[in-house]
Structure 1
Amino acid sequence: MDFQERLQKAIHRGLAKGVEQSEQAKAKRLSKEEIRSLYTKYRLDLSEHIEACMKHLPDHFPGFVLERLYGELGWGAAVRRDDSLIGSDGRRSNVYSRLEVAVKSITEHDVLDLQAKGTIRNRELFRRHHFQAIAEVDLAKFREMVDVWIVEFAELYAAATD
């Protein structure tokens, strides 16, 4: 077999392999219905986990009120607290603290997007995002992020209210 024949065979093998890989990629791609179904499943699981974790904050920090989030804000929960402080000069000021953790609405990019925002005494201390393509979601990692962010907020709040 001369060089030209080997070259032709290699090209044909390469083309066949390319077609095969393309077909495998198409088979792996999820349909829109499958993506929506997975998103709904993940959103429900995570929003329940968020609420289950957040409901403990008012037990440790009296005055916080738990609220469920749904709709345009995303799906999850928030805790908030409003305080009145009297300064050394006798003037009163109002401060608020809030932690919001939510799964944002699905986008055209088919991404599961978890977001958190923590504010303590009128100061935003953190804003976190964790996202991943729905077809590749590691739900355990998302649940871990929820836990980490809530614990982080509790630590920051405890330090700020010494």
Structure 2
Amino acid sequence: MDFDHRLKRAIGRGLHAKSSREQEAEQQKLNEEELRNLHSQARIELTEHIDVCLKKLVDHFPGFQYSSVIDVDGWGAKIRRDDLDLSGGRRHQQYSQLQLLISSFNTAHVIELNIKGTVRNKEVINRRHFQQLEDLDTQSFSELIDLWVLEYAEKYAAGT
């Protein structure tokens, strides 16, 4: 094989590699859009499940105020109540709150569930759970939401 023939083959391989990289970049853009759509669908589904769970909790514990949350941190809902404790002749204001959020789309390609719960001025639950979007199982997220809301209900009922 002479040099000219090897040079032409090397140039051909280089052009093929460049073309492959461009195709891969285009495929990556499509995958990014697919992941964004998957995240949006899951966030809507999980936010609706959070709404249902917290509204049921409000039905069992009168005095809580329900509100939807849509902000930079994510979508979800929270419930809150303020109580006045007049024991011992002193006035103490106590608040209880539970907030669950599904995080916004991020470059790590994960979906994240955040929960913060306070019972009578004491933080009783503060957790995060995430999954890669490629491995997303919304059923397990829904079960986790149920579990965490039940745990908060138990702690609130116990008065801790």
Q: What TM-score, normalized by structure 1, do the two folds share? A: 0.79
**Structure 2 spans left out of the alignment, 5+ residues:** 1-23
| Rounded Cα–Cα distance in structure 2 between residues aligned with 1:124 and 1:87 | 22
What is the RMSD of the two structures over their aligned residues, measured on CA atoms?
Answer: 1.6
Q: What TM-score, normalized by structure 2, do the two folds share? A: 0.79
Q: 1:129: how far off?
A: 1.1
Question: C-alpha deviations, 1:26-47, integer Å up to 9, x for none?
Answer: 8x97711001000000000000
Tell me the residue number matched to 2:119.
120
Tell me which amino acid in the other structure corresponds to 2:118: T
| Rounded Cα–Cα distance in structure 1 between residues aligned with 2:111 and 2:79 | 22
Tell me which amino acid in the other structure corresponds to 2:52: A
Q: Percent identity?
A: 43
Q: 1:73: how far off?
A: 3.3
1:1-162 to 2 correspondences below 5 Å: 31-88=31-88, 90-160=89-159
Structure 1's consecutive aligned runs of 4 or more residues displaced over 6 angstroms after TM superposition are none
**Structure 1 spans left out of the alignment, 5+ residues:** 1-25
Q: 1:145: how far off?
A: 0.6
Tell me which amino acid in the other structure corresponds to 2:110: V
Tell me the residue number matched to 1:15.
none
Question: C-alpha deviations, 1:116-162, integer Å up to 9, x for none?
Answer: 1110001101111110111111111000010001000000000007x
Q: For this pair of structures, how many residues does the alignment match?
A: 134
Tell me which amino acid in the other structure corresponds to 1:70: I
Question: C-alpha deviations, 1:44-83, integer Å up to 9, x for none?
Answer: 0000000011101121111001110112131111110000
